[in-house]
C-alpha cells in the first residue's frame, strides 16, 4: 500500500512535540510490514545543518499563487524516502511562530496536495494535526486517494473558515468553522494518539468546543497509543548517558544520578530523592500546579528537583525563582537539549508529569524505559501507559492522582518520596516500568488495520 505521511514535524531533526516522534518512527515500522511509506515535510532553514540534502530538486510545483520546489532525501537510519517542500516562508530557522504561521502551513498543505495529484500518487495520505487539515477536504474530490487524519493535540485547531477563504481554495462542499473541524469531517478515518484521549475529546471537559463534532464522527474515530523507539531509547546501549545499565543491573544506575548532580550543580548525594520534569513550559503541562506546590514540597522533604524545558516566559520566570530559593537542591535548565534529557531520564529517581490534558505523552514512556518512576495525573495517554503503584500487591508502574488540584499533586509527590525510602519495593517498581512494552510494533499493527479498513478488507485477506 502506498502511504504518504504529511507533517510539520519529523524527528530527529524537526521536533517540538510528540508528533515528531510519531512521524519519525512509525513509517519505518510500516515499511518493514510491506507498505511503501514516504514522508512529506517543510524544508526548514536549519535542515541542511542536520541532514544531507541533494542540491537538485526532484519536482517543482505551484500553490496559492506561489512556486515551490521539492527535494528528496532519506530519513536517517532508515530507508524511508523524505520529501522536503522548499519555499522562502520556511527559510527562517524555526518551526512555529511568526505572524504568518496560518498562511505558511496552509500553503504547505496545498503543496502536499499538489504533490500527490501531480508527482507521487499515494493510496492514503496520512495527515497530522491542523497544519495538514485541509488535505482531507481537498482529497474528498479524489476518489483514488483516501485520507487518515491524526489528532495529536485538539487544543490547536488552525485558521478559521474566513481566514482560509482569504488564503486558499475552500471547495463548495466544505463544512467546518476551522481547519481541524473540516479535517475530521472529510478524512476517511480519524485517530487520536491514545484510546483514553479519543473518549475524552467527546466530552465538554476535553473537547475544546468540538465535543459535539467528535461524538458525531465517533464511528470513524479510534485511539491508537503511541510507541517509542526502543532501540534508540535503550539504557543498555545509549551512548549519551555516563553509565549503561539494564533491568537486572539497576545498581549501576546510581552512577548516572551522581553524574547528573555534578553536571547541574546539585549537592552530590546518591541517597536523596531526585525528581525531574522535562516539558514544554505551557499551561497544558500542569505548570500552574507545580508552581503552587513545589516550594512546600522542597521545604517539607530533602528532595532535589530538576527542570528541563522552555516555553511561556511566566512559567520560566516562576521556576527560575523557585530554584534560586533552593540552591544546591534545584536546577532549572531553560533550554532544549536532547542529550541532557537522556541523562535526566537515566539519573533522576522520578519523573513529574501533572498534565491538565495529555493526548498521549511520550516522556513518561521514555522515563520508565530508563527506570525513572513517573508521577502523573490520570488523563489521556497517561491513563493508558502508567498503572498506579499498589505496594502491598506489587502492582503498578508509577504514582497517579486524579483531580487537577494542587493538594492532590502534593499528596502524590509526598507518597512517591516516602515510597523511595523503601528501596526493595522501589527497585521492583522501576523494573516493572522498564519491562513494559512500549515498542511501535503493536501500534503499527493497529494503524495497519485502520488503513485496510478504509478499503473494506482485512490485513489477513490481503496477505492471502
**pLDDT digits 0-9 by tens, 398-456:** 999 999 999 999 999 999 999 999 999 999 999 999 999 999 998 999 999 999 999 88
Q: In terms of residue numbers, what domain contains 335?
A: 250-435
Report how far apart, in Å, the C-alpha atoms of 5 and of each of 8, 24, 129, 178, 186 are.
10, 10, 12, 22, 17
419 in the same domain as 276: yes
448 in the same domain as 427: no
Note the helical H segments in 370-455: 381-385, 406-420, 423-435, 440-454
The pLDDT tens digits for 28-78 are: 999 999 999 999 999 999 999 999 999 999 999 999 999 999 999 999 889
The pLDDT tens digits for 358-368 are: 999 999 999 99
Amino acid 464: pLDDT:
44
Q: Taking all residues of the chain, what is their mean pLDDT, rounded to a whole number?
A: 95
The pLDDT tens digits for 239-276 are: 999 999 999 999 999 999 999 999 999 999 999 999 99
186 in the same domain as 277: no
- The three-state secondary structure class of 249 is coil
Helix (H) or strand (E) holding 68: strand 66-74
Q: What is the C-alpha separation between 440 and 216, in angstroms, rounded?
A: 29
Range 169-191 average pLDDT? 96
Whether 238 is covered by a domain: the verdict is no
390 in the same domain as 312: yes
Amino acid 137: pLDDT:
97
The pLDDT tens digits for 153-165 are: 999 999 999 999 9
What is the domain count for the chain?
2
Whether 240 is covered by a domain: the verdict is no
| Conformational region of residue 197, where left means phi above 0, alpha means psi within -120 to 50, and beta covers everything else | alpha
Name the DSSP class of 281: B
C-alpha cell at position 102: 496560518
Amino acid 303: pLDDT:
97
What pTM was estimated for this model as a whole?
A: 0.90
101 in the same domain as 31: yes
Q: What proportion of the chain, given as a percentage, has pLDDT over 70?
A: 98
Say which CATH number the domain at 308 has.
3.40.50.2000
Whether 114 is covered by a domain: the verdict is yes
Amino acid at each position: 500500500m502506498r502511504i504518504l505521511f504529511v507533517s510539520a514535524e519529523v524527528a530527529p531533526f524537526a521536533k517540538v512535540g510528540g508528533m515528531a516522534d510519531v512521524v519519525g518512527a512509525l513509517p519505518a515500522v510500516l515499511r518493514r510490514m510491506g507498505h511503501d511509506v514516504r514522508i512529506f515535510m517543510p524544508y526548514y532553514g536549519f535542515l541542511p545543518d542536520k541532514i544531507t540534502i541533494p542540491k537538485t530538486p526532484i519536482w517543482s510545483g505551484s500553490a496559492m499563487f506561489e512556486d515551490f520546489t521539492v527535494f528528496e532525501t532519506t530519513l536517517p537510519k532508515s530507508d524511508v524516502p523524505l520529501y522536503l517542500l522548499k519555499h522562502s516562508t520556511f527559510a527562517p530557522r524555526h518551526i512555529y511562530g511568526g505572524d504568518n504561521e496560518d498562511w505558511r502551513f496552509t500553503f504547505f498543505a496545498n503543496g502536499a496536495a499538489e504533490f500527490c495529484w501531480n508527482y507521487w500518487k499515494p493510496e492514503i495520505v496520512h495527515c497530522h494535526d491542523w497544519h495538514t487539515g485541509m488535505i482531507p477536504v481537498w482529497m474528498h474530490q479524489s476518489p483514488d486517494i483516501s485520507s487518515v487524519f491524526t489528532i495529536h493535540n485538539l487544543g490547536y485547531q488552525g485558521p478559521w473558515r474566513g481566514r482560509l477563504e482569504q488564503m486558499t481554495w475552500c471547495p463548495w462542499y466544505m463544512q467546518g468553522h476551522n481547519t481541524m473541524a473540516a479535517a475530521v469531517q472529510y478524512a476517511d478515518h480519524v485517530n487520536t494518539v491514545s484510546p483514553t484521549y479519543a473518549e475524552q475529546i467527546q466530552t465538554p471537559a476535553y473537547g475544546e468546543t468540538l465535543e459535539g463534532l467528535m461524538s458525531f464522527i465517533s464511528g470513524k474515530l479510534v485511539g491508537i497509543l503511541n510507541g517509542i523507539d526502543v532501540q534508540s531509547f535503550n539504557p543498555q546501549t545509549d551512548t549519551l548517558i555516563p553509565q549503561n545499565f539494564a533491568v537486572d543491573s539497576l545498581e549501576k544506575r546510581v552512577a548516572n544520578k551522581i553524574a547528573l548532580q555534578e553536571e547541574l550543580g546539585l549537592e552530590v548525594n546518591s541517597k536523596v530523592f531526585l525528581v525531574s520534569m522535562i516539558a514544554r513550559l505551557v499551561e497544558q503541562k500542569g505548570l500552574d500546579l507545580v508552581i503552587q506546590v513545589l516550594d512546600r514540597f522542597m521545604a517539607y522533604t530533602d528532595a532535589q528537583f530538576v527542570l528541563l524545558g522552555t516555553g511561556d516566559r511566566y512559567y520560566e520566570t516562576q521556576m527560575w525563582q523557585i530554584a534560586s530559593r533552593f540552591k544546591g537542591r534545584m536546577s532549572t535548565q531553560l533550554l532544549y537539549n536532547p542529550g541532557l534529557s537522556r541523562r535526566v531520564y537515566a539519573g533522576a529517581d522520578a519523573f513529574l508529569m501533572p498534565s491538565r490534558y495529555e493526548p498521549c505523552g511520550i516522556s513518561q514512556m521514555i522515563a520508565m524505559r530508563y527506570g525513572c518512576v513517573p508521577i502523573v495525573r490520570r488523563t489521556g495517554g497517561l491513563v493508558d501507559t502508567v498503572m498506579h503503584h499498589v505496594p502491598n500487591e506489587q502492582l503498578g508502574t508509577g504514582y497517579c492522582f486524579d483531580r487537577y488540584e494542587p493538594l492532590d499533586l502534593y499528596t502524590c509527590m509526598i507518597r512517591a518520596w516516602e515510597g523511595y525510602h523503601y528501596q526493595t519495593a522501589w527497585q521492583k517498581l522501576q523494573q516493572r516500568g522498564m519491562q513494559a512494552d512500549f515498542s511501535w510494533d503493536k501500534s503499527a499493527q493497529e494503524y495497519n488495520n485502520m488503513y485496510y479498513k478504509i478499503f473494506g478488507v482485512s490485513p489477513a485477506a490481503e496477505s492471502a
